[in-house]
């Protein structure tokens, strides 16, 4: 299955992606993860990306489109993939369509995780992540996140783009640049809106139903 996971920051894309790949066995392509790894490794890509990411801005289309086009050539994507956090602009969606067409492929579904803005701000301001593999912890409702990850002992941190100013900027960027994709994929007839409120299990069962 070829799936795109769409939604504002904090909608739970990463969490649902982990469940989707577990169930469907498709490779998970998260442009956010690829870029964060490049920043950590201090590669040329990482140096370019970091200045945009820390401010909550999008990394330029030309950079991100190239990364995804290369990744999709990998043989593990031949029978399907889950794109998480890409496309994020109409230009990226058009480029993705072209890449898929060149490879005689098309998308099966675009899952659009829907959640209101207050909830997104609440989730992002209480989110902590493992600096090694990205496991997500929440301090919502007074919960205490561990200092080190329960699975891999990596340090648990607040992402620089989860600082209050960057959160607001990311939400604005989502509205201006990513939200138009809802119409784009709706017109293409493959948009599957899914309510992203409730427990992880509840949201996941809605995702499975949308994909069935």
Residue 131 and residue 158 in contact, taking contact as beta carbons nearer than 8 Å:
no
Q: How far is the CB of 163 from ligand AMP (least distance, A)?
A: 12
Query: Is the CB of 90 or the CB of 205 nearer to ligand AMP?
Result: 90
CB of 80 to ligand AMP, least distance (A): 19
Give the integer Cα–Cα distance in Å for 53 and 57. 6
CB atoms < 10 A from the CB of 155, how many? 11
Q: Is the dihedral of CA 183, 108, 77, 104 positive or negative?
A: negative
DSSP designation for 161 = G
How far is residue 91's CA from residue 127's CA, in Å, rounded to a whole number?
Answer: 30
Residue-wise DSSP of 31-73? HHHHHHHHHHHT-HHHHHHHHHHHHTPPPPHHHHHHHHHHHHT
The region of 83-91, 142-150, 179-187, 188-196 touching ligand AMP under the rule CB under 6 A is: 83-91
Residue with tokens 């945009």, as numbered in its chain: 52
Of residues 144-183, which lie at the interface with ligand AMP (CB under 6 A)? Answer: 161, 170
Judged by CB under 6 A, the residue of 64, 72, 130, 149 near ligand AMP is 64
Q: Which stretch binds ligand AMP (CB under 6 A): 84-92, 93-101, 103-111, 147-155?
A: 84-92
- The answer to the question of residue 88 lying near ligand AMP (CB under 6 A) is yes
Give me the 92-121 binding string for ligand AMP, x by CB under 6 A, dash otherwise.
x-----------------------------
Instruction: State the nearest-atom distance from the C-beta of 182 to ligand AMP, in Å.
Output: 15
Cβ neighbours of residue 54 under 8 Å, at least 6 residues apart? 160, 161, 166
Question: Is the Cβ of residue 120 or residue 145 nearer to ligand AMP in the bound state?
Answer: 120
Nearest residue to the partner ligand AMP, using Cβ: 32
Q: Which of 16, 26, 31, 126 binds ligand AMP (CB under 6 A)?
A: 31
**Does 85 help bind ligand AMP (rule: CB under 6 A)?**
yes
Cα 97 off chain centre by: 18
Q: List interacting residues with ligand AMP (CB under 6 A).
A: 9, 31-32, 35, 52-53, 56-59, 64, 85-86, 88, 92, 161, 170
């Amino acid at each position: 299955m070829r799936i795109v996971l769409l939604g504002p920051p904090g909608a739970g894309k990463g969490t649902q992606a982990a469940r989707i790949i577990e169930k469907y066995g498709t490779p998970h392509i998260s442009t956010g993860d690829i870029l964060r790894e490049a920043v950590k490794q201090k590669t040329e890509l990482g140096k370019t990306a970091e200045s945009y990411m820390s401010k909550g801005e999008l990394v330029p289309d030309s950079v991100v489109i190239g990364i995804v086009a290369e990744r999709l050539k990998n043989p593990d994507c031949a029978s399907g993939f889950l794109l998480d956090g890409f496309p994020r602009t109409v230009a990226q969606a058009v480029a993705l369509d072209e890449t898929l067409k060149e490879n005689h492929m098309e998308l099966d579904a675009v899952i659009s995780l829907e959640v209101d803005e207050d909830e997104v701000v609440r989730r992002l301001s209480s989110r902590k992540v493992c600096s090694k593999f990205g496991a997500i912890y929440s301090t919502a409702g007074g919960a205490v996140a561990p200092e080190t990850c329960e699975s891999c002992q990596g340090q648990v941190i607040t992402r620089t783009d989860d600082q209050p100013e960057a959160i607001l900027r990311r939400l604005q960027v989502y509205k201006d640049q990513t939200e138009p994709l809802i119409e784009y994929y709706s017109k293409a007839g493959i948009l599957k809106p899914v309510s992203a409120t409730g427990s992880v299990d509840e949201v996941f069962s809605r995702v499975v139903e949308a994909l069935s």
